[in-house]
Structure 1
Amino acid sequence: MKARNYTFDEMCYSVAVDIRSLGGNIKISTVKTFYSGVGRSTVSTVNQINAWNRVELLVIAST
């Protein structure tokens, strides 16, 4: 797999799409807020992003 340099917007879009594919329900703007550190994240947001991180780590470990 070739490495790619994503813009912040592309990265947030990709995270939101991946979370939705795992059954989550998250907006791109929520992902942007979470990663930019602006505002407060709800427990649901943190849980969804943590679940996505676990899946990504498993994918990376298996390659």
Structure 2
Amino acid sequence: MAWLPGHEPSTGTAAEVLSAHRAGRTVVTVTALRQNLAVLACATVIVPDLDAFDAWLAHPEGGG
């Protein structure tokens, strides 16, 4: 899970997300940065906030 609050991408978090993606892991990002190329390319699930992440945790089969 990667949490990207605010509107600034994080290079360190992007590297971790890429590493998890390359390892075949489920990558869930909590961010409003839905247009960010790193998020779109590497995230399995994108949720807009922590409440939505909590809802996804309760029902991960429903997607994001």
Q: Which of 1 and 2 has greater Rg?
A: 1
- The TM-score with structure 1 as length reference comes to 0.30
Per the normalisation by structure 2, the TM-score is 0.30
The structure carrying a bigger helix percent of its residues is 1
More strand per residue: 1 or 2? Answer: 2
